[in-house]
């Protein structure tokens, strides 16, 4: 897989050994960023916009709960999924992490195969959500385009009908004494307005 197509993961842990272990377990399928404290984690998330964050809880100065709260409050990072990977096994801690917005909670010591599967599942969920969002955006844009064209064609019918109507009056009642050039001009106006009206009808009907 090329570097451009790889999903990116930000690993936040104050222990180098844990960062190394996670990158080794997950392998070469992802691009990695690392941060060893909460402040650097938030900066890295805003800069790199990773597809997933693996976040430890017990860290100096700012713990993982503090970090995810700040991530979820920022428009730049609020949609990045977060998985806690921590030694805290208390159900209350797990509940707190999930309530703060984490998508999963993995307790150390972890099984490598489980970590790989949970990360992969989260990436797949994220990809499916992106497909749905892109589809909804396309549908919305199509609806907006149709509404614009319909409104535009509708708003132009009234003045176009007036042009066609008055042109017809000029041709049938007022052009007897006009020279050939003036009559040609009037024919051009009539033909062009008729063509434009037909085009507007097609747009309106579509």
Over residues 29-52, mean pLDDT: 95
Element (H, E) at 106: strand 104-107
pLDDT digits (tens, 9 = 90+) for 143-181: 777 777 667 666 777 777 778 777 878 777 776 778 888
More confident call, 154 vs 8: 8
Name the pTM for this structure. 0.65
13: number of Cβ within 10 Å = 25
How many CA atoms does the CB half-sphere of 196 hold within 13 Å?
A: 18
Q: Cα–chain-centroid distance for residue 48?
A: 16
Rounded Cα gap, residues 87 and 105, in angstroms = 10
pLDDT-based confidence at residue 187 (cuts at 50, 70, 90): confident
The two most distant CA atoms of the chain are separated, in Å, by 100
**Is residue 96 classed exposed, middle or buried when 0-12, 13-18 and 19+ CB atoms within 10 A define those classes?**
middle
């Amino acid at each position: 897989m090329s570097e451009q197509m790889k999903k990116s993961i930000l690993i936040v842990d104050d222990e180098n050994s844990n960062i190394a272990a996670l990158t080794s377990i997950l392998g070469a399928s992802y691009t990695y960023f690392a941060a060893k404290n909460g402040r650097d984690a938030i900066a890295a998330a805003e800069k790199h916009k990773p597809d997933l964050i693996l976040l430890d809880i017990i860290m100096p100065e700012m713990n993982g709960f503090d970090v995810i709260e700040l991530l979820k409050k920022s428009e730049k990072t609020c949609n990045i999924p977060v998985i806690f990977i921590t030694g805290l096994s208390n159900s209350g801690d797990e509940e707190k992490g999930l309530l703060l917005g984490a998508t999963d909670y993995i307790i150390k010591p972890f099984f490598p195969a489980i970590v790989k599967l949970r990360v992969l599942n989260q990436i797949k969920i994220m990809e499916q959500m992106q497909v749905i969002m892109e589809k909804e955006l396309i549908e919305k844009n199509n609806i907006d385009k149709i509404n614009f064209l319909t409104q535009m064609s509708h708003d132009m019918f009234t003045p176009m009908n007036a042009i066609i109507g008055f042109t017809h009056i000029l041709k049938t009642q007022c052009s007897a004494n006009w020279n050939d050039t003036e009559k040609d001009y009037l024919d051009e106006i009539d033909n062009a307005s008729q063509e434009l009206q037909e085009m507007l009808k097609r747009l309106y009907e579509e």
